[in-house]
Copies of this chain bind each other. A is one copy, B any other.
Amino acid sequence: MALVVQKYGGTSVADLDRIANVARKVIRTKEEGNEVVVVLSAMAGETDRLIGLAQKATDTPDGREYDALISTGEQVTVALLAMMLNGMGHPARSFLSFQARILTDNAFKKARIQSVDTTLIRDEIEKGTIVVVAGFQGVDSENNITTLGRGGSDTSAVALAASLNADVCDIYTDVDGVYTTDPNICGKARRLDRITYDEMLEMARAGAKVLHPRSVELAKKYDVRVYVKSSFTDEGGTLVTREGEGMEKEAVSGVTYDKDQAKITVVRVPDRPGVAARLFMPLSEHNIIVDMIIQNASIQGYTDLTFTVSRKDIREATRIVSDVIKEVGAEKIEVDDNVAKVSIIGVGMISHSGVAARMFAALAQEGINIMMISTSEIKVSCVVEAKYAELAVTVLHDAFSLEKAR
């Protein structure tokens, strides 16, 4: 008998018919001899509706009240699923965060899970009850409701799977797994049967939308086997797991792209200690997430420093950095919001020489100019002109023959 945690996203519980569909999948898993803990998101669109109410209510909604408001979406879906399962003759019980004791810090709207007290959930599982837990929410040490931010329900599911020492954490979504690249722009994209945590993490960070990076980090930390599946078919699926498990090391396993990028170059920055901190601290204070940062070796005491941010933040970032360059004595800034990031990802990359070179060559052959390069142990990212994003993906998918299963 296996203990299975299953998470269903907003499109999977968008209406009563789809929740009934979830109920049937859950019952089937139970009848196959498993113990089942279900984690649900809110109905698709409901969280956005509630956020809209908060934004109309006041310009700067208090974080505590904001979280109390938007956490109602998950409360509705877990209660509906639990009553449906009961109605179908399968004892079920919903757990809200204060009942499941999902303890977080008190950073409202982006809380981090600290612990899950699984005593009550285990009691119910042992009685044969199907446990249905509200995703996305927690409580802080003072019993205030918190929410986990974007991707929160995935994180809830993985945290529960880790705390319960579950055999697997199934993440049901509207695609049937993780692909070598976006099938919408590359017809040859191939579904991967397996992928490592690190690869999944880089793919998620580099723009693939299947799993939120936070949930992958947590899965890696606690060694939770995550299975990405479609809630609409029984086919396919991708297992996210640690290296090894009978996996061939592929040099490159996926290509991602992210068009939500804008870059700022600070020209002729004096190369003194503390300059970078003075640039990036105020950005961080304004909650602007900086993605890539490139600084070349300095020449005659000056360097150029380039970084990318999300396109929506470019105006604020420009304003902030403009204020700082006078202080630090840089010459000027140059802004380009017409760029995209294209990345190749693969855990086998370090042991295969020449992967980066092949990437650059493939792009060059199509006349795609590379503006920035950044590498990690399992990733090479290039910033290119936005209009080349789709072409670059297709070219790289071909260059590494990703359509072929290995």
Copies in the complex: 2
Q: A16-B57, A69-B83, A143-B98 are in contact. Are A50 and B62 (CB under 8 A)?
A: no
Task: Tell me, yes or no, whether A382 is within 8 Å of chain B by CB.
Answer: no
* Cα distance A1–B53 in the bound complex, in angstroms: 34
Determine the distance from Cα of A321 to Cα of B55 in the docked complex, in whole angstroms. 56
Could you say which residues of chain B place their CB within 8 Å of the CB of A54? 79-80, 83
> Are A82 and B65 in contact (CB-based, < 8 A)?
yes
Which of A79, A80, A99, A145: most chain B Cβ within 10 A?
Answer: A79
What chain B residues lie within 8 Å of A242 (beta carbons)?
A: none
- The answer for the CA separation of A143 and B101 in the assembled complex, in Å, is 11
A76 at the interface (CB under 8 A from B): yes
For residue A78, CB closer than 8 A to chain B, the reply is yes
Residues 43-97 (chain A) with a chain B CB within 8 angstroms:
50, 53-54, 56-62, 64-66, 68-69, 71-72, 75-76, 78-80, 82-84, 86-88, 92-94, 96
- The binding surface of chain A is classed by DSSP as helix
- Complex Cα–Cα for A53 and B88 (A): 16
- Is A19 positioned at the interface, with any CB of B under 8 Å from its CB? yes
Least CB separation from A19: chain B residue: B57
CA of A10 to CA of B75, assembled, Å: 21
Taking a contact as CB atoms under 8 Å apart, the answer to whether B68 and A53 are in contact is no
CB distance from A102 to the nearest CB of B (A): 13
Contacts of A71 in B (CB 8 A): 75
Residues B87 and A61 in contact, CB atoms below 8 Å apart: yes
Q: Which residues of B contact A16 (CB under 8 A)?
A: 53, 56-57
Query: A96: which B residues are within 8 A, CB to CB?
Result: 68, 145
Contact assessment for B83 and A61 in the assembled complex, using a CB-CB cutoff below 8 Å: yes
Which of chain B's residues have a CB closer than 8 A to the CB of A66?
79, 83
Minimum Cβ distance to chain B for residue A304 (Å): 43
Q: In the complex the two chains form, is B69's CB within 8 Å of A79's CB?
A: yes
- Quick one: which of A65, A69, A86, A98 has the most chain B CB within 10 A? A65
Interface size class of A (residues with CB under 8 A): 35 or more
| A134 smallest CB distance to B (angstroms) | 9
Considering only CB atoms, which chain B residue lies closest to A50 in the complex? B76
A76 with B59: CB separation less than 8 A: no
Cβ contact within 8 Å between B65 and A94? yes
Q: Which residue from B50, B59, B80, B92 sits with its C-beta under 8 Å from A87? A: B59
List B contacts of A57 (CB < 8 A): 16, 19, 80, 83-84, 87
Q: How far is the CA of A56 from the CA of B53 in the complex (A)?
A: 26
- With a cutoff of 8 Å between Cβ atoms, the chain B residues found around residue A65 in the complex are 79-80, 82-83, 86, 92, 94
Nearest to A91 among chain B residues (CB) is B62
Question: Contacts of A87 on B, CB cut-off 8 Å?
Answer: 57-62
CB distance from A67 to the nearest CB of B (A): 8
- Alpha-carbon separation in the docked complex, A60 to B83 (Å): 8
Min CB–CB distance A98 → chain B (angstroms):
5
Asked if B76 contacts A75 (CB within 8 A), the reply is no
Chain B residues whose CB sits within 8 angstroms of the CB of A75 once the complex forms: 68-69, 71-72, 75
Chain B residue numbers with a CB within 8 Å of A53 are 16, 76, 80
Give the CA-CA distance A191 to B87 in the complex, in Å: 48
Query: In the complex, are the beta carbons of A76 and B82 less than 8 A apart?
Result: no
Q: Are B62 and A83 in contact (CB under 8 A)?
A: yes
Using CB atoms, name the residue of chain B closest to A43. B53
Contacts of A62 in B (CB 8 A): 82-83, 86-87
Residues of A within 8 A of B (CB): 16, 19, 50, 53-54, 56-62, 64-66, 68-69, 71-72, 75-76, 78-80, 82-84, 86-88, 92-94, 96, 98-99, 143-145
7 contacts across the A-B interface (CB closer than 8 A):
A16-B56, A54-B83, A61-B87, A62-B87, A66-B79, A68-B94, A69-B79
Contacts A62-B83, A68-B75 given; 4 further ones with Cβ under 8 A? A57-B84, A59-B87, A65-B92, A69-B75
